[in-house]
Structure 1
Amino acid sequence: MAPNFHQLHIFYMVAEKGSFSGAAQALRMTQPAVTMQIQSLEDYYGTKMFNRTTKKMELTEAGKALLPFARRSMELMKETESSMAKFAHTLEGRLQLGASLTVGEYILPRLLGPFGQEYPNISVRMKVMNTQQIVEEILSHQLNFGLVEAPVKHPDVHTEKVLNDELLLILPAGHPLADQQTITLKDALSYPFVLREQGSGTRQVMEEAFKRQGVQSESIRIGMELGSTGAVKSAVEANLGLSILSPSSVKHEVALGLLIVKRIEGMTFHRSFYSVYLKSALLPISALTFLSFIRERDLSQYL
């Protein structure tokens, strides 16, 4: 029989990993099953695809010729599944993903509701953890994909921008700046700030925007550094300082009249959220459907 996509996928993974055992682990197959599929491919073409030695496995000339076709078949299958995902309204299955802290606590919960209404037969399992942990679990095949607040630089991981967000100035109710129609950067910097810890994506966006206005991080009066957005909100509410946060994260407090959201004149604080997954993996249709949902819909009504 002519080679099928499954065999080309296995061949591609063996070439990428450099071993049958590495490909078997990545594909969640047994090593004998991987070996059998490669042998079947070699039998069909009547030539060896790999030179096997005790130290490593290298592509033969025939294997090198086949590799770009296998890669193209992978890319075509990914494009096909991504295109078809938007039509899968009766889809069943489980959506398994990781989300970094801000995404998992404040963004995704508001999107999973409308997604669940449209795809009621897809159950969701979400882990909220930091980006490094998400990447580690993707690499070890414990997670299909993740949503994070910054691009991931790893040779085996694909990063794609899927959502945009804007941060704004957060004030406690009754603050002297609350009634001002226009708040300048000078106005805001005359008060202490309550910020996330160094390395936080939210803080990085704020500091970069300030630097574009000629304000260095050292000149910001930091009243407090806290390890979670929830703690930052509580500190601002207690009038311990101002902050720069996503309006999505303070929606509840604003509705209760505890916090106020304002713009700083002439400044924008934009950031993006990214999907991350293995370059060599084919995402399950449930994951492709969800990524298609958040890429192509107007989600502003939920956030």
Structure 2
Amino acid sequence: MAINYHQLHIFYTVAERGSFSAAAQALHMTQPAVTMQIQSLEDYLGCKLLVRSTKRIELTEAGETLLPFAHQSMQLIRETEQAMSRFTFMLEGRLQLGASLTIGEYVLPRLLGPFGRQYPHISIVLKVMNTSQIVDEIVNHQLNFGLVEAPVQHPDLVSEAVMEDELKLIVPVGHILSGRGQVELEEVVSYPFVLREKGSGTRQVMEQELERRGIDLGQIETVMELGSTGAVKSAVEAGFGLTMLSPSSVKHEVALGLMEILDIKDVTFKRQFYSVHLKSALLPVSAVTFLTFLREHKLLP
């Protein structure tokens, strides 16, 4: 084991933000994941770096010594990437990646074209599959990296946020809510819903936010649970109920006048899309370039 940039970045962010929770939010990581990385760094160095208390964390003498080196390493990485960026247009090779269903079917297709025009000599092989399959293929060195809808907890993998998305209320044209633009949450949950299956990333984001808003999930009438976004859209179009989906997945239906995207007043259902790759392997420059391209092309307006 050796000190890696990822751990130094986390340590610096914790020191800068003053708490594990604030650092976790800034890094788009879970707080336990931040704590685990700090503990791993402390175990490797053989000393404590932070004094943990109920209030703001404080650096030990060892932590104070490490902090400027962590800052220098971050600056060096940024300068290196900037210096090498002028060569990226000459990149070539084969890039193999996996993507979960929503990302692979609705997000990436409209971005692969612009990327291909900008980097015509990079050949992309995209596999659309569920998160567990992506993890298996990365661990077995069959994929360079994957794009998923939630951070992956795996001892051999690193998850990093690359894009932000937001679920919206989707209604069929002609529904009683259609044409209103914005609706109240209490009114929305009184109508039947068509949802993805339990455990799907899309449904988890919706349910977590509703629970945070004090909504009893048991009061929501779920008339259908379906295993794909396409099936959900077909059921909504047929008038079986409302749903929550990414606007990226209904662009075609909205353009055809079949569905409408509505806002729920004072409620947002934001989520991150994550890249996943092996801790022990450096990503090829083509993969780093592709992820940089994704970060620069926001889904949200």
* Structure 1 length-normalised TM: 0.72
User: CA 1:84 to 1:114, structure 2 compared with 1: closer, same or farther past 3 Å?
Assistant: farther
Verify the 8 A CA contact 1:85 1:288 in the aligned structure 2: no
Verify the 8 A CA contact 2:164 2:298 in the aligned structure 1: no
Tell me which residue corresponds to 1:254. 254
Amino acid at match of 1:173: V
Tell me which residue corresponds to 2:11. none
Tell me which residue corresponds to 2:281. 281
Amino acid at match of 2:85: K
Query: Secondary structure in 1 aligned to 2:171?
Result: strand
Tell me which residue corresponds to 1:51. none
Tell me which residue corresponds to 2:240. 240
Tell me which residue corresponds to 2:159. 159
User: CA 1:198 to 1:81, structure 2 compared with 1: closer, same or farther past 3 Å?
Assistant: farther
User: CA 1:81 to 1:231, structure 2 compared with 1: closer, same or farther past 3 Å?
Assistant: farther
Unaligned residue ranges in structure 2 (runs of 5+): 3-44, 47-69
Query: Counterparts of 1:270 and 1:224 in 2: how far apart (Å)?
Result: 23
RMSD of the alignment, in Å? Answer: 2.5
Moved runs in structure 1, 4+ residues, more than 3 A?
A: 74-86, 298-301
Query: Secondary structure in 2 aligned to 1:86?
Result: helix
Unaligned residue ranges in structure 1 (runs of 5+): 1-10, 13-63, 66-71
C-alpha displacement of 1:98 = 0.5
Tell me which residue corresponds to 1:86. 85
Query: Counterparts of 1:96 and 1:75 in 2: how far apart (Å)?
Result: 28
Structure 2 counterparts to residues 201-212 of structure 1, below 5 A: 201-212=201-212
Query: Counterparts of 2:137 and 2:75 in 1: how far apart (Å)?
Result: 26
C-alpha displacement of 1:108 = 0.8
Amino acid at match of 2:116: G
Structure 2 counterparts to residues 148-187 of structure 1, below 5 A: 148-187=148-187
Structure 2 counterparts to residues 36-115 of structure 1, below 5 A: 82-83=81-82, 86-87=85-86, 88-115=88-115
Query: Secondary structure in 2 aligned to 1:263?
Result: strand
Query: Counterparts of 1:267 and 1:133 in 2: how far apart (Å)?
Result: 33
Which one has the largest radius of gyration?
A: 1
User: CA 1:292 to 1:180, structure 2 compared with 1: closer, same or farther past 3 Å?
Assistant: closer
Verify the 8 A CA contact 1:170 1:259 in the aligned structure 2: yes
Query: Counterparts of 1:164 and 1:80 in 2: how far apart (Å)?
Result: 25
Tell me which residue corresponds to 2:145. 145
User: CA 1:81 to 1:197, structure 2 compared with 1: closer, same or farther past 3 Å?
Assistant: farther
Query: Secondary structure in 2 aligned to 1:89?
Result: helix
Amino acid at match of 1:168: K
